[in-house]
Structures are given as structure tokens and as C-alpha cells.
Amino acid sequence: MSLEADLEEVGIEIAGPFAYCTQALGWIEGHTPQLALLDFRLKDGPCTELACTLVQRGVPVLIYSGLPHGPAIPAELHDLPWIEKPVGRDDLVRALMQLLPVEHGATAGSSGERHH
């Protein structure tokens, strides 16, 4: 909950968190977020399909995971920005703000959504 509060504080609108990839995939059937923060492994497995679907739509994706980025990660996710837990909240918020589309920049009050 602290992460959601930190993100809302800088003007990022939250969707989720989603515990299952299938929940997030269902949500994005009717929505396209400005950016997505995904844990690599949710309760029903890795987020590969979810991440690929978002990337195909042009949504910037940041993986925030306790797993290291390495050879065991699916090839489809190798080029995505990856931050290993734990990380300071300021660093995570800064990384997300850098992913926002240029027209929104890193200004407070900009709107984005994330999946988790």
C-alpha cells in the first residue's frame, strides 16, 4: 500500500494491484494505461504475455521483481527495464516517471496507470 500512496502522491493514477496475470489481461481488454509496473511472477505465473501485450500497444513497461534479470528470464522481456526488489521508493518513482510519455514528462500531476 505504501507504493500505491507514493505513486499517487506524484500524480500517477493506479489500476490494480492485480494478483493474477489473467486479472490484468482482463482489465487491459478495456483499458490502455500510460505505463505499467509489473512484478515478473504473479500468482498464476510469469507476466510474459501481459508485458508483451502492453509493449505491442506502445505502453512503457517496467519490471519490478525480486528475481534477478538474467538468462532464466524469457527472451521477450530481456529489453524491458528491470529493477530488482528491494529498491528505494524514490528510485522506483523516478524510474517510472522517466517512462511516462514525453507530453506528460516527469511533472507532478501527470496521470498514468500501473499493473501489479
pLDDT tens across 20-70, in order?
999 999 999 999 998 999 999 999 999 999 999 999 999 999 999 999 988
Report yes or no on whether pTM surpasses 0.75: yes
CA 69 to chain centre: 15
Distances in whole angstroms, Cα of residue 38 to Cα of each of 23, 48, 58, 103: 13, 10, 15, 23
**CA 5 – CA 9 distance, rounded (Å):** 6
Find out if CATH 3.40.50.2300 is the number for domain 2-99.
yes
